[in-house]
Every structure is written in C-alpha cells, then in structure tokens.
Structure 1
C-alpha cells in the first residue's frame, strides 16, 4: 500500500478541484425535478465542469472489465446504490431519490463528492434514510484526525446507520485521492475502533457512506456498472473529500451551495 501525504500547496489544488465539484452539484440541483432525464443532467455537468477549466474524471474511467464509463457523472436512482449511467430513458419522477457522484480533474488534482437529492416530495422513511446517511458521513469525518485509525471512521459510520436498521454496503469503499482519483487506502464504512492504519496529517481521503434501507446485499446490472440493492429497497450515498489534520479534519468539498438551494425549495 502506497499512501501519499499531501503538501499544503497540493492541498490548495485539491481544494480548488473539490470546490468545483460542490459547485457542479449545486448547478445540477437547479435541474433536478420530475420529467428531467439523467442524460440531461450529465450534459449540464460536463458543460459546467469544462467551462471551469477542468475535466470530468469519470468520463472513460474503466471498470474492472476494462469498459470505459460513458458519462461525466454517476446518476443512481432509488435502488441503484452507485455507478448509475445517465440515460435518455431514465426520467425523474416525483418521490424518487437520485445520488449524483461527480469528479473533476483540475490543475493535476482530483475532486470527488456525492449528494443524494430528493425529487419532489419523498416519503418520511426515505427522508430519514437520507438524513441518517448524511449524518454518518459527518460522524466518520469527525474521526479522520491524526492519531486515530482508519477503522475509527468505519466504526462511526456503521454504528450510526445500523442503529436505524439500515444496511452498510461492504463491497464498495471510499478511497485515498490526489493526483489519481483512486489512491490508497480504501476507506471502509464498517470496522472496529483502533483498527487499520494510523491516520497522519496530510492524508486526503474520500469518505462515502453507501447505505441501504433494507438488506446490505448488492448486485451488478447487465450494464456492468450499475450496482443495485438485491431487495430493490432504496439506497443513499453521500461523499466528501477531506484532509486529515490534527484535532479536526478539513472538508475540501462542499454541500453548502446544494443545501442552500434545498432550503430555497422548501
């Protein structure tokens, strides 16, 4: 395992790439409503990212089968946990949820973040799933400080979500991030306190709880990208890129603009 500690100059570049991801998610939030296709969202995202001098990292990123991802964002609706492919056929409906995962490459460094949006009015059960998943992300981030261990992050996410009876996906993880979108170490959403590698200042991590309303078992659709819950219950996915610091982690990506937009819709 090769883990790269980032310098302050590198972290500044990481911050720029991740702030652009946050701005892209907010731009997409303006378009999320019943009747919109996920392909339209993808076109909005790619244009926005390229207009800001960056490259959409996900486009042409290969899966384990060597097949390139055909779009700039992942659009995962309802029971799709991650890696949903934008399509003209996927039309958002009132009551849906959609997780939009977005990555940018700007000035040699990567940004990566995901937000699960409500489409119109969603049920109280699904609203709670989103709330708890987002809470678990921040509880995990609280543990991402120098001197703690990687397992402390996973333990915080797992214990919070399981107390609500939710499933914690184990086959998919967060990751280190920097010049490459996926670097060491893998960041699991489960674990035990004090286990795993020691966290050091300058580590940049993408922490991303992927939480299911029902059973945690997942499957792969024939497109060889989309991961779904086997019981077809909905799943939520939130992700921030952070840098490990002494005392308190620094969040490099941002939900501020998205949450402001959501507040305006209420």
Structure 2
C-alpha cells in the first residue's frame, strides 16, 4: 500500500504524454452528503465544537487525551468517502443496509459527544455554572475569532418568564438585545465588538414587556354612524333640558369636554345629531 503522493512519484515520468481530459470528473459518491441533512448537521456541530475547544484551551488535547482522540477518530470516520450501503436505493429496508447507515451516523454522534464533554470541562474551568435558570445574572464571553470586529452573542435561559431583557456591559452601557423563543426557555441575543482572545463580562436582567397596541387608529365615528363634529358645547345658547333644570350639562362643558347629542338634547333637534363626547 502506498499513498497517492508515492504513487504519483513512481509513475510521473511515464505520464508526460498522457492525454488530458477536462470536465466534471468529481467523485460521484460525495453526493451522499446531501441525502442525510440531519446527520450532517449533527456532524458539523461536532466539528465546530472540536475547533472551539482548540481555541479556548490550547492544551485541551493534553488534558483530555482519550476524549480528544475519540473526537478525532470519529470525525475522520464520518467524513470518509462512503455514504451508506451501495444498495440503499434497491434494498433500503435490508438489515445490512440499515445497520451500515446507523453505524455511519454513530460516528457523528460519538464525535459530538466527545467534543461536547471536552467543551463542558473547559467551560467549568472558566467558571460556568452549566445551569441556566436565573432571570438576572452575569455572563462572560470568550471570543474565538482571530480578528477584531463585531460579533453576535447568544445565550439562553431555561425559563418562560422572560418577556424581554436588559443587557449591560462592564461599564454600565445598555446594549440593544433581542429575546426570542428557545426550546424550554428564551434566547437572548446582542452584538458587541471584540478583540481576539479578550473576554468581556455583561449583566442581564428581566424586563417587563412594553404593551403593544394592535391598532392606534382614532375613530371619529361610532357604530351608530354618528360623526363627531369637534365643537364644544355652546353654553351661552344651551337649550337642553338638563341646563334649564339646573343639571350638570354646562358644568361639564366648563371642563372642555364634548357631549353626545343623545345625552344633551336640544329643543327641536334630533337626539342623534349634534355633539359627541371624546373620552
């Protein structure tokens, strides 16, 4: 057995006059990656966690050699070129075919498990509680990017009692944040600028949601089709029964209120024409 480099070194002198072919000569079996999106997503997160562990702790491989090797081996095995049994289409329910498919997915799962265990150990060393139930508290963000710039920060709280939140940096500045739904709780998101390798601390606290109005339109005509004319009650020419009887009609008019013609009846005037009260 030799590597591709060794094979090419052995035959390169005999290939000087070899014909050249151009076009699509890709490895067709690689198309299988698109046939299992859920398993691939699981694998890609395992790969992402593995690289995060590398950046958060340069000595993670030395501290956790068994988990580190397990993650490496299974990441490599899942990414190997075969993708399920060759009879997946013709015999999809055959025991041998199903076993190979499950075995393939197990590589992604074992890689994810090992990477997650390493990540949890690193987080615990850095002071993480690993329990997220408090509606107020402090968080510490460790940037993993190698360049300075704005970065999105997300963390979740396992509580439904978080309509909105307030996030402040170490200097007390309020940062714009968003609270969205998350399985079994709420996700809090915000953006800040980070330098490579420099952690920052923030505080967060629960806030009551601002009441939202479905409709802010002001109606000037009610369901009875009486239109408001916007005129104050004319006290000097008032001919209502209430005024003549010493009622409270004009006393209310002094306050600048508006009146409904159905309650303030003018002599000889239809009760549903005239003035309307705006509350």
TM-score interval, normalised by the smaller of the two chains: under 0.3
TM-score normalized with structure 1 length = 0.21
TM-score normalized with structure 2 length = 0.21
Larger RCO, structure (CA 8 Å, separation 6 or more): 1
Higher fraction of helix: 2
Larger Rg over CA atoms:
2
